[in-house]
Structure 1
């Protein structure tokens, strides 16, 4: 007898509306426009509701993806939000900037034979659609939170994703949290690093405003290790300290001509444009060089952000210079796709050897060595090897170096008892996030080196749970 049981047809992903490339490359508004309810329900209905949801294991904070998507299928946004917030304090952020293709969506069963469920897009939809009644509900998804106790004080040095997670978790448990941020605006890399067209500042401000309403004290222009030290905080009665200062020290290539006018680190370039609002000069008084022919050195997400920013600032030509091929580029596939759509060019298997300048000290070009791929290195990627005698020059008046970051030593030098690893990052207990100093915790890039927002949040959550366990 023939098997009459029909297999469920695997439908393609529900497309997300976005600005046309020729339009968005001229503005700093968000590229992707988000789902409406009908789109979200259609995409949620693709979910197989697996008995063993591998997507959850693929999520660094183990969001109950199966349940929240089920609630979206039922158009119950309140329940969907609560399901996400049980483990993820920043769903509107994560839905936009997490590398879902390597995490939850990468583990989705549908991805084996077709396209995985658009988990990130659905998470974003839920977070953007949910309307909280108060700060407690916004930060925790719960209807009630304990009153904040002034006698239980915890300090966060830094205000990026790991510290925001700590503050949200502890404040909704009734613990008083104070944050100390070196810059003039809280949010860390979410504000100074990620461009408006990928993560609107209003999304970050929504989270920060909810923290303020929940009695989290936010102090800006306080430099950890200078304006305030870990010992200062304990002397002031804080019961625990969380260090979430990121890894904001730029790495340079140490090439001849690196000091020419027109050579930026990606940190400075993006901070000027994002935090300093240089894209709105002279309405905001932070200047930035608007290059005509721009080169970006590197191929990660930061490099893509810098390249796409340069286009929006009016560059005629923007080129990514990378020593491997497109297949090895570490940036998210979506970011590479958007960059290419917008007109960013790739100069691959090419490694810079010298910056060239004019008699006034201005950058005029880049000398480049042609490469080929050899045997795999420690990262598993094939090692780039120079092709003897094959060099060329690229005309450029603005070059942005986006080849990674390191730990800023100001706070580390001021805290000599803090255990560091051989790379200069803070050593912590993997289960609790506690450092070598009792009741001092750390998480995010200052522990792992440059990584993802969601990994920083996961570290913040682990530390916050341990702090709450000890204090309550």
Structure 2
């Protein structure tokens, strides 16, 4: 009975790592003393901050004393090895010293290589293997872990694994571009596991039943005495505000809109993302004792200098890429021309929009696909998309044998293929939308003051200038004509730098994450970070979320220094044996989500995909190969892929 009483709080609170561990006597076994399963969310973030900080200093220590950097980062066994190697190597050199010869040269070279190896390896720090899906995810969401918990029916625990790094699981589960599935090992000989849809499933089945973040904040109430201003209430800004609040800062959120939400709340139509799903996730964050200031825009109502005078110790800019790129030869709405983002904003707002006749959409990105599919739902008789890039050609999977494993040969990423995601293109084609690739509109014919036809030319090739802008080269010839009662432009957007007096000088903090530190912002001496679409232009939602989390950790390290938490904490769990490794035709095929045929046939804005049923979700999760388990990774996966390549 005593054992049960100790275990019950653990299971009730849903500790994230402990549910994946094979240790039966949890929280009392010897290996549990310094396991990260003991840590709450705030302590986990602080540990990550401390590990990163020490990894940067470790090479300097190892350059003086080999192995000292390893001790500093908590890798004591490896550090002891290098510390023992250094005096032994030097002693050997001294004991065998003779007038210069080739043997002494080789020995000196060996000593130098050991020294360099100790220096380079100290930067790595404590490392835990990650499955390919987790490595591919910009936010490093533990995909294989939450999928495994979904197999066991632990949906709440699975969801909390996601929420520990991503506060928008329901949104991400619907509109993420899921690079995790691209690198899924199951996809090398079949279809990848539906990792993204499973994230949505666990959220749909447990979302709203418990505020995970409020529980974490109440479990470790901390007040650091600093105020942080977050400008922009989109996914990146709200993520930064959330993790800053968890770390103990007072956070004020400023946004030019009336309710916040950013791009998903303004431009993503309901058939892809129901507004109530995203709104509930936004409200859950805003309810965590934040100070929301809506209807206030930077540059109009306040400046960076004003924020500093109000006592803010740091600023995070996440105001997105809201300036639409227009075309010089288009006209006004009364002439039949519409801006794609403004059109989507009216749709999401619920305005009654009717587009009778034929619609021509200019652009080949994801926004153009949303515009075209929304136009179908607004009564358009025929919808066409014309873009500079060519439509991707379906092809069979091809593999090559490399380093004892079979790898997929993927098409090179070039500017000659439509930038829209392939599944977005497939959905548009499914709704009878015609896509004309390799074409460009050059002028328009008008009748009665409205557009009637578009004069188009074929593209021979696409060049780029020094700034990366596309320079289409037209083919010689008369071109072709397309009938168009409405023309909607969706050729992209760019950040609006007017609030900072032009594009500010930035120091990029990561090569893969859109986050940067502003260099000497005008009239402001506190640290000012920028992230999300504001840094490099439009990016994916998961990249913006990751930038917000990184910004929170950077500001903590900049303002508070190194956290007071033991560096000895490590992921010490023992993975449960995983014998379910079937190879059959059924396991190679992924389960299909429910399809709302009525929404597609009636052209309504109801959500098209309905997610998984519980049975299909658990069957789909059961297809996971558990590449994070070392035994599976080293033997079964490679053996499986090699056997498939010999067939």
TM exceeds 0.5? yes
| 1:84 is the counterpart of 2:84 | no
Question: Where does residue 31 of structure 1 map in the other structure?
Answer: none
Question: Where does residue 10 of structure 1 map in the other structure?
Answer: none
Q: Is the 8 A contact 1:296 1:320 kept in 2?
A: yes
Distance across 2 between alignment mates of 1:158 and 1:353: 37
Measured against aligned partners, the alpha-carbon deviations of 1:117-171 in whole angstroms (never above 9, x if no partner) come to 1110011112222245554x1x478484544749432111111111011012112
| 1:399 is the counterpart of 2:477 | no
Distance across 1 between alignment mates of 2:479 and 2:509: 47
Rg larger in 1 or in 2? 2
| 1:419 is the counterpart of 2:504 | yes
Alignment of 1:251-290 (within 5 A): 251-255=325-329, 257=331, 261-274=335-348, 276-278=349-351, 281=352, 288=353, 290=355
Q: 2:318 aligns with which of 221, 240, 244?
A: 244
Alignment of 1:101-112 (within 5 A): 103-112=179-188
| 1:182 is the counterpart of 2:256 | yes
Distance across 2 between alignment mates of 1:232 and 1:427: 23
Structure 1 gaps, min length 5: 1-50, 282-287, 421-425
- Give the aligned length: 401
Q: 2:509 aligns with which of 401, 410, 429?
A: 429
Change (3 A) 1:244 1:375: closer
Q: Is the 8 A contact 1:257 1:354 kept in 2?
A: no
Distance across 2 between alignment mates of 1:452 and 1:205: 19
Give 3-state SS (helix, strand or coil) of 1:390's partner.
Answer: coil
Distance across 1 between alignment mates of 2:310 and 2:471: 52
Distance across 2 between alignment mates of 1:358 and 1:457: 47
Q: CA RMSD in A?
A: 2.8
Question: Where does residue 535 of structure 2 map in the other structure?
Answer: 447
Q: 2:197 aligns with which of 121, 133, 142?
A: 121
Distance across 1 between alignment mates of 2:192 and 2:266: 31
Measured against aligned partners, the alpha-carbon deviations of 1:93-139 in whole angstroms (never above 9, x if no partner) come to 11111111xx111111111111111110011112222245554x1x4
Distance across 1 between alignment mates of 2:422 and 2:369: 11
| 1:59 is the counterpart of 2:129 | no
Distance across 1 between alignment mates of 2:150 and 2:214: 19
Question: Where does residue 442 of structure 2 map in the other structure?
Answer: 353
| 1:331 is the counterpart of 2:420 | yes
Compute the displacement of 1:325 (Å). 2.0
Measured against aligned partners, the alpha-carbon deviations of 1:241-280 in whole angstroms (never above 9, x if no partner) come to 1100111111112226577622122221112221x322xx
Change (3 A) 1:185 1:398: farther
Question: Where does residue 24 of structure 1 map in the other structure?
Answer: none
Compute the displacement of 1:456 (Å). 0.9
Distance across 1 between alignment mates of 2:244 and 2:510: 19
Compute the displacement of 1:379 (Å). 12
TM-score when normalising by structure 2: 0.58
Q: Is the 8 A contact 2:361 2:372 kept in 1?
A: yes
Change (3 A) 1:242 1:320: same
Structure 2 gaps, min length 5: 1-128, 393-416, 561-647
Change (3 A) 1:439 1:368: same
Change (3 A) 1:224 1:387: same
Measured against aligned partners, the alpha-carbon deviations of 1:39-97 in whole angstroms (never above 9, x if no partner) come to xxxxxxxxxxxx75111110001111121111111111122112112222212111111
Q: Is the 8 A contact 2:216 2:246 kept in 1?
A: no
Distance across 1 between alignment mates of 2:467 and 2:194: 28
Distance across 2 between alignment mates of 1:65 and 1:309: 32
Change (3 A) 1:391 1:304: same
| 1:193 is the counterpart of 2:279 | no
Distance across 2 between alignment mates of 1:89 and 1:307: 30
Distance across 1 between alignment mates of 2:354 and 2:302: 34
Alignment of 1:137-156 (within 5 A): 137=212, 139=213, 142=216, 144-147=218-221, 149=223, 151-156=225-230
Question: Where does residue 295 of structure 2 map in the other structure?
Answer: 221
Q: Is the 8 A contact 2:181 2:192 kept in 1?
A: yes
Change (3 A) 1:406 1:146: same
Distance across 1 between alignment mates of 2:150 and 2:196: 13
| 1:205 is the counterpart of 2:279 | yes
Compute the displacement of 1:471 (Å). 4.2
Q: Which of structures 1 and 2 has the larger relative contact order (alpha carbons within 8 angstroms, sep 6+)?
A: 2
Give 3-state SS (helix, strand or coil) of 2:488's partner.
Answer: strand
| 1:163 is the counterpart of 2:231 | no
Change (3 A) 1:233 1:52: closer
Q: 1:306 aligns with which of 337, 356, 371?
A: 371
> Bigger shift: 349-358 or 190-199?
349-358
Give 3-state SS (helix, strand or coil) of 1:290's partner.
Answer: coil
> Bigger shift: 310-319 or 394-403?
394-403
Q: Is the 8 A contact 2:217 2:246 kept in 1?
A: no
Question: Where does residue 296 of structure 1 map in the other structure?
Answer: 361
